[in-house]
Amino acid sequence: MDEWNPLAPRARLLFHLQALSSLVLAWLPMLGAVVAGLALWWQLFGAFVVGAGAFFVLFVGAVWFPTFQYERWGYLLRDEDLLITSGVILRRVSAIPTHRIQHVDMQQGPLEQWLGLASVHVHTASGLGGRGTIPGLWKADAEALRDTLIERSQEAHDDGV
């Protein structure tokens, strides 16, 4: 097997920022509501201890997890197929024959735009969902990959179904 292509080094920062933003915007309000509920129905000190413990676990997860996440991502474009590997807890290797590709999207969220990164989404008739996604590529690399994939998909002489 050839060497996997890693994501752009800045993708590590992207994953950290995404994890911290979801911690602040989603997990903290939820945790606050649970702690408030516990304080009302149980006791203030116990609720504080549970909340602080949960926050510590979530914070450590948000700081550590993206590093492993970054290291597990990789892709490999071979002559006839695209391989994508990902996952820290559930490890996954997806293989997509390029002649089956229906279309390819390139996306940039606000954080990705700021960092000069982009993600490539490969779509087939099987509805791969997130399994055909490669996040955290340099924008130029993402454009080149997208163009290559589109070019190869056009070599197919059927409807890809």
Partner 1 sequence: MASDAGGAPRVDTPWQSLHPLSVVVNLVPRTWAFLRRSWLLIVAFLYGRTGPDAFIDVVDMGILAFFFLGTVGSTVVHFLTLRYRVHEGKLELRSGLLNRQARVFRPDRIQNMELVRNVFHRASGLVEVRIETASGSEVEGLLSALSEGDANALIEALDAERSHEVDGPELTDEAQWPVVVDTSLSDLVWYGVTGARLGSMVVLFGVLFQLFTYDDPQRMEQLPGLVGFAGGLALLVAVLSGAWVVSVVNAVVRYWGYRLRQKADGLVAEHGLFTRRRVELKRRKVQVVSVLEPAARRLLLGVASLQVETAAVREQGDGTDKAVAVVPMVHHEQLDEVLARVLPTGSTRLAALALRPPADKALLRGLIGAAWRSALVVAFLLWLLGWWGAPVVLWVPASLALAWLDHRHQGWAITDDLVVARSGWLHRHTEILARHKLQSVERSQGPLLRRYGLGRVRVRVAGDAIDLPLVHWQQAADIQEVLLSGARQRPTSVPLTRDDGSPDGAVAEE
Q: Name the residues that contact partner 1, by CB under 8 A.
A: 80-81, 87, 89-97, 99-100, 124-128, 131-132, 159, 161
Q: Are 117 and 126 in contact (CB under 8 A)?
A: no
Smaller CB separation from partner 1, 86 or 119: 86
Smaller CB separation from partner 1, 8 or 122: 122
Shortest Cβ distance from residue 78 to partner 1 (Å)?
Answer: 9
Smaller CB separation from partner 1, 100 or 146: 100
Shortest Cβ distance from residue 141 to partner 1 (Å)?
Answer: 22
SS3 81: strand
Shortest Cβ distance from residue 60 to partner 1 (Å)?
Answer: 19
What is the rounded distance in angstroms from the CA atom of residue 69 to the CA atom of residue 61?
Answer: 11
What is the rounded distance in angstroms from the CA atom of residue 119 to the CA atom of residue 135?
Answer: 4
Q: At 60, which amino acid appears? A: V
SS3 133: strand
